[in-house]
Chain A
Amino acid sequence: MAREIYAYRCRLCDTMHYPFRMVCSGCKQNDFFEFDTVPLPKTGKLLTFTKVYNLPAQYEVATLGLGIVELENGMRMLGQLEIEDPEIGMEVAGTVEIVRKEPYDNYYGMVFHAA
């Protein structure tokens, strides 16, 4: 079963949030956790990107590709990129994989590949 990254839709006014907000930025009237979880689409367009060389100690790789993607539904997210030659505007598709390893925890996030 493929993992998902979830956006949060306010039950009162349908405003979508990623990441989570306690108070809906649209209506500000929601009750505690009055959100529905909605899986984020996994395809979109690359808005901007970088290749990072100076990484924190937990990353034992030479470089890390990162980018901000505009997803099919208009929302944006940050993800790791496994793309040889990224270009602004290119189509990308993501899968949810381990993006960070700490001694006792693995963290999952979106990794984008060229679509």
Chain B
Amino acid sequence: MYVGNPPRELMIFTGTAVFDWKSKAKLDRNEVVVNLGATSTEAFQSTSTCSLASFSNTDSEMIFAVDASWVVRRADDAGLELHANIAVQGNDSVLNRISYHVQVLTDPVIAKISGTIRWNKSLGDPTEAAKGGANMFRVAAGNLVSVPASGGGFGSTKWVEAASTFTTAAPVQSGDFWAVAYVLENVPLSQQFNVVPALLDGVLTSVIVPYATFMPAPRYVELTPNDPTATGVDFEMIAGQGVR
């Protein structure tokens, strides 16, 4: 869930860890690791508590303990783990379960795709409004999705967007090129999307004939919890060829 403003993600994990740790008469210690099945950014805070949940003893002096618990973020895949130190003594004593409650407060993953769109000035200069930061391009992340045929007709495809934005920065001229930056935010993670720019009407001093297109295309990007931002996803606008 998201709490606070600006929102942070609060994840709660509860459960019962099941294992079999038997004392050999001495106070025998071990460490229980629970894979919590979630990931986090490096900047996270956590609390955890563990309690005894199931044990047995055969007519002997005994100790059962959960001495400490803490949360670890794995370096290789950002996965979260609960660690707990347990101890058992008896002849014999067996600890079978502990219950746990973990709270992790983590920064939201602001998924971003960013880059620049450039074009040769032979295609046209930005209008004065565009030079002042007016929207010039719309950028979207989405996919073409097949739509099954219905009623005996042909199937088709439909563009389904996951995120979109408009450029708001003032374009910069460098040599024969103009360039403007874009930032596409809140792109869903762990899904591959095609990033597609589009030129808005009336933002250049001339009309691109026959139409504007962008290279490279398609431009697929997939963000993940470990790598939630993609920079340098750049495009060059060119004049298309033939009939659109």
Do A and B associate with each other? no
